[in-house]
Amino acid sequence: MPPDPSAPVSGSPVSGPSMSDPNAWRRFVRRHPLAGLILQRLGLSVALLFAVSVMIFGGIEALPGDFATTYLGQSATPQAVANIRADLGLDRPVTTRYFEWLGGALQGDFGTSWASRNSVSEQIGKRLGNSLFLAFFAALVSIPLAVGLGMLAVQYRNRLPDKIINIVSLAAISLPEFFVGYLLIMVFAVQYGVATFPATVYDGMGFLDRLSAIALPVATLVLVVLAHMMRMTRAAILNVMSSAYVETAELKGLSAFRIIARHAAPNAVAPVVNVIALNLAYLVVGVVVVEVVFVYPGMGQYMVDAVTVRDMPVVQACGLIFAAFYIFLNMAADIIAILANPRLRHPR
């Protein structure tokens, strides 16, 4: 009898869950727990970003005041205000404007700035590049330094180097970023004149000039995020150091640094990656204060300027982009933590 073409073929490649079968997802997760958890994280991140977009748009709509009144001044006539609102589309229903904005945002079009009449997407493209340039070099300095200091603190735990690192890190955590920024400006830019201020980055600047211009903002961000990452690295490695395999390595006579670097640190990846992802998100999202202090032309400064003149399309776009960075960096940290779990990588 010839084989039934509709019957499943033995040895066929693994396929994803079928949407027509309500139990397909459960069977897929049981067979492939690692892929199932990753897909769940992706789905939750997309749903969370959608919820955040609703909150951003709705929260801005609920703010008191009106752009038309602010733009025209208190002496504006009701007809002039109504004309501005009609020109900007503010007289349409909120739900209609939200879905139009969301559809444009999904295509990379955030509309037109009410204040400057320029494309928001084009302005954000320039500003976002500056913010990412600043965040990249801050991360390039802070992450290896935090991991290295954390491992050093573990190696010399309860001794002088560990105590010095803990005291300095606690002091750094206690200082707000605007205070650190102004302190660095006073010392290095005003008193000694070895740094550039303001840290204005122009399009025509060379690479080395740009690095010189961001030296103080990068130093501020590094001091702000370094202590948190270092303390979390120290705590995670110390937690692993009490494991049986670490004690076995110590009995074999391996050096303390080799035990930490080769045996303890790789098994402390999940919490360290989570805290690094949180601080990376801060380097992109939380640079608003630092950019304002150093007059740095990034996303944070752009958003503050837009809030000042109630330029709502710019505020909505910046808020959504900041939220997307924060959500997806945390999603990446979750996925890395899942991949670092040997029980999920090698299910029985």
Using the predicted structure, report yes or no on whether residue 334 has a pLDDT greater than 60: yes
Q: Work out the percent of the chain whose per-residue pLDDT is above 70.
A: 82
Q: What SS3 class is residue 112? A: strand
Q: What SS3 class is residue 14? A: coil
Selection from 209, 208, 191 nearest residue 200 by Cα: 209
Give the pair of three-digit tokens for residue 348: 């029985």
Long-range CB contacts (< 8 A, 24+ apart) of 31-39? Answer: 33/344, 33/347, 34/338, 34/339, 34/344, 34/345, 34/347, 37/338, 37/344, 38/335, 38/338
The least confident of 196-200, 201-205, 277-281, 282-286 is: 196-200
Using the predicted structure, report yes or no on whether residue 165 has a pLDDT greater than 80: yes
Q: What SS3 class is residue 58? A: helix
Q: Is 9 or 40 the better-scoring residue by pLDDT?
A: 40
Residue 59 to residue 96: CA distance in whole angstroms: 16
DSSP string, 220-263: HHHHHHHHHHHHHHHHHHHHHHTSHHHHHHHHTT--HHHIIIII
Give the pair of three-digit tokens for residue 80: 């002039």
What is 120-345's CATH number, 3.40.630.30, 2.60.40.3880, 3.40.225.10, 1.10.3720.10?
1.10.3720.10
Using the predicted structure, report yes or no on whether residue 12 has a pLDDT greater than 60: no
Q: Is 119 or 261 the better-scoring residue by pLDDT?
A: 119
The answer to whether 297 and 201 have CB atoms below 8 angstroms apart is yes
Q: Is 44 or 83 the better-scoring residue by pLDDT?
A: 44
Instruction: Classify residue 271 by burial, with Cβ atoms within 10 Å: 0-12, 13-18, 19+.
Output: middle
How confident is the model at residue 18, as a pLDDT?
Answer: 52
Tally of CB atoms within 10 A around 286 = 18
Using the predicted structure, report yes or no on whether residue 166 has a pLDDT greater than 50: yes
Total residues belonging to the chain: 348
Say which residues have a Cβ less than 8 Å from residue 286's Cβ, sequence separation at least 6: 177
What does the domain layout of the chain look like in residue ranges?
120-345
Say which residues have a Cβ less than 8 Å from residue 78's Cβ, sequence separation at least 6: none
How confident is the model at residue 147, as a pLDDT?
Answer: 86
φ, ψ dihedrals at 60, nearest 5° = -70, -35
DSSP lists the bridge partners of residue 119 as 112
The least confident of 19-23, 274-278, 316-320 is: 19-23
State the residue for tokens 């009701």: 78
pTM over 0.85: no
How confident is the model at residue 48, as a pLDDT?
Answer: 92
The answer to whether 179 and 284 have CB atoms below 8 angstroms apart is no
How confident is the model at residue 200, as a pLDDT?
Answer: 59
Mean pLDDT of the chain: 79
Q: What burial letters (b/e) apply to 171-198, b meaning 16+ CB within 10 Å?
A: ebeeeebeebbeebbeebbeeeeebbbe
How confident is the model at residue 141, as a pLDDT?
Answer: 92
Using the predicted structure, report yes or no on whether residue 13 has a pLDDT greater than 50: no
Using the predicted structure, report yes or no on whether residue 7 has a pLDDT greater than 60: no
Using the predicted structure, report yes or no on whether residue 188 has a pLDDT greater than 90: no
Question: If you average pLDDT over each of 133-147, 153-167, 248-262, which comes out highest?
Answer: 133-147
For 296-314, the pLDDT digits (tens) are: 888 888 888 888 878 888 8
Q: What is the DSSP letter of 9?
A: P
Q: What is the DSSP letter of 219?
A: H
Under the banding of pLDDT at 50, 70 and 90, the label for residue 150 is confident
Selection from 192, 132, 180, 70 nearest residue 329 by Cα: 132
